[in-house]
Amino acid sequence: MTKVLKKRILTSFILLMLMFFAFINNYILGYLLMIIFVFSILEFFGMSKIFLKKYKILRLLINLIFIFYIFYFCTLILTFSFSLSLKVLIFLVLLMCVASDIGGFVIGKIVKGPKLTRISPNKTISGAIGSIIFSSGFAFILFYLFTKSYDPYILFIGLVTSLGCQTGDLFFSFLKRKSYLKDTGNFLPGHGGILDRIDGILLGLPLGFLSLLVIY
């Protein structure tokens, strides 16, 4: 097992543990969201200061949009957490996001093949497909375990979640590339910044959760 894979698994495990404790305790969830809110903004500001160095007004506008988005993201999660059923749905979609991330990395490393885009040289087409398979497959299995029935629509939710995660990942990879940065920050020693860990979740979670509400 490579160091990168071990690091990926460790990060996913830590994320799952944080998700679990946040799930059972709203105070922990609140503190976690506060950390995400503050450090995500600081890291984004650090990048925008580089890739939009010459465009101060545009940088201000984009920074404000990001603040609004991350605030809305954290507020919605905290608000929905007071409903057990909605909290469960959020937790399940988060698990799909984790499955998508692991699937993309594992399948991409094993199968390899053509690159997905120049934005992120490590991303492959096989990895993108692996992300969708893992996310949709995980959603399908979870749905069956809870309901003892099959529903093809759950595969669509897994697909939407995975595509959201991959788009978010590529978006921040693009920003890092434009900023000449390897990581968005160093909040997590050896693992980068907060945005490095939640870049996919920032888009995958809202899209997956919304598709769940629309379909069910």
Burial call 88-119: b when 16+ CB within 10 Å, e when fewer: ebbebbbbbbbbbbbbbbbbbbeeeeeebeeb
Give the single-character DSSP code of 123. -
Domain with 115 in it: 3-215
- Are 12 and 5 in contact by the 8 Å Cβ rule? The answer is no
Enumerate residues 6+ apart whose C-beta is below 8 A from 21.
28
Asked if the model's pLDDT at residue 24 lies above 70, the reply is yes
- Are 142 and 149 in contact by the 8 Å Cβ rule? The answer is no
**Which two tokens mark 176?**
């890092």
Q: What is the pLDDT of residues 152-197, one digit of tens each?
A: 899 999 999 999 999 999 999 999 998 998 889 887 766 688 998 8
- The number of distinct structural domains making up the chain is 1
Torsional class of 151: left (φ above 0), alpha (ψ -120 to 50), beta (otherwise): beta
> Which of the four pLDDT bands, split at 50, 70 and 90, describes residue 1?
low
Place of tokens 């893992």: 134
Q: What is the pLDDT of residues 96-111, one digit of tens each?
A: 998 999 899 889 989 9
Q: What is the pLDDT of residues 63-74, one digit of tens each?
A: 999 999 999 999
DSSP H or E segment with residue 207: helix 201-215
Which residue in 125, 161, 129, 128 sits closest to 143, CA to CA? 161
What sign does the dihedral 114-184-73-80 (CA atoms) show?
positive
Q: What is the pLDDT of residue 2?
A: 61
**Which two tokens mark 210?**
């919304």
Q: What is the pLDDT of residues 75-92, one digit of tens each?
A: 999 999 889 888 888 989
**What distances in angstroms separate CA 49 from CA 13, 59, 63, 179, 207, one per listed residue?**
32, 7, 10, 8, 28
Which residue in 191, 135, 122 sits closest to 163, CA to CA? 135
Q: Which residue has the higher pLDDT, 45 or 18?
A: 45
